[in-house]
Amino acid sequence: MVLTRILTDFIRLFYPNLCMVCHSDLTKGESTICTSCLYHIPRTKYWLDSENPVAKIFWGRAFVQNACSFFFFAKGSRYRKLLHQLKYNGKKEVGFTLGKEFGNELKMIESYKNIDLIVPVPLHLKRFKQRGYNQAEEIAKGLQVSMGIPLSTINLVRYNYTETQTRKTRTQRVENVSKAFRLETPNDFKGKHILIVDDIVTTGATLEECATTVLEVEGTKVSIATLAYTSL
């Protein structure tokens, strides 16, 4: 296994234009993942069902209009490594390619047509500096292209740890322990339907916090889309 991986990485060094899933040569017009692998990606099709398992995660926690994921992040699946490449191996193009494909599905669905803005879950500043990009933002850029909906990346921000800890008194610290996000200019979201985007959903805790923060603004609606879904 390790040897195969080393060999694959070595080959890619000289022939970088290979499909990230099946390692076959990419043809003109294809990037990152070949047409066949994109076609066969294990789609959840949750966008066709408003009471799907991802939507159910948020029941009783945040009032969400729609929630779905693009594909199953299953053990043993050859698609599993895509997320790893996106998050830990600097392959941000995976996010864009799959986000675009995901958007092609969502744009066909009536309940996703009235979305005003796409908002990626912000990354910790420290993590952003390490990685050089926010993987959720790369997915959101793909969605933006195929859905034709604008992107907002500067309004919803994440408190960084030191900021939260130093600016508050001890009591505030205890009270705000779960408050990880804020809006820089809440009025910009007023009355808007926001699609919050992340790479994967498991417990939904982070997405719930983002949704709650957005929903504090008058007249907002929230929908959620993640690239991958894994049941615990």
In angstroms, what is the minimal distance from the CB of 73 to Zn ion? Answer: 18
In angstroms, what is the minimal distance from the CB of 8 to Zn ion? Answer: 13
Span interacting with Zn ion, options 37-45, 73-81, 150-158, 217-225, rule CB under 5 A: 37-45
Give the C-alpha separation, 25 to 18, whole Å.
5
| For Zn ion, the closer CB: 47 or 96 | 96
In angstroms, what is the minimal distance from the CB of 24 to Zn ion? Answer: 5
Q: Amino acid identity of 226? A: T
Residue 197 within binding range of Zn ion, rule CB under 5 A: no
Is residue 212 a contact partner of residue 184, using CB atoms and an 8 Å limit? no
Rounded alpha-carbon distances, angstroms, from residue 1 to 5, 7, 86, 88, 211: 6, 10, 20, 19, 41
| For Zn ion, the closer CB: 39 or 161 | 39
With CB under 5 A as the contact rule, the residue among 6, 11, 22, 154 that binds Zn ion is 22
Helix or strand run (H / E) with residue 222: strand 221-229
Span interacting with Zn ion, options 26-34, 72-80, 178-186, 194-202, rule CB under 5 A: 26-34
Strands ordered across the beta sheet of 193-201: 67-72, 221-229, 193-201, 117-120
Residue 94 within binding range of Zn ion, rule CB under 5 A: no
- In 43-127 the beta strands, taken as DSSP E runs, fall at 67-72, 117-120
Residue 19 within binding range of Zn ion, rule CB under 5 A: yes
Is residue 102 a contact partner of residue 143, using CB atoms and an 8 Å limit? yes
Give the C-alpha separation, 48 to 114, whole Å.
16
In angstroms, what is the minimal distance from the CB of 51 to Zn ion? Answer: 33
| For Zn ion, the closer CB: 19 or 94 | 19
Span interacting with Zn ion, options 11-19, 43-51, 61-69, 159-167, rule CB under 5 A: 11-19
Return residues touching Zn ion (CB under 5 A): 19, 21-22, 34, 37
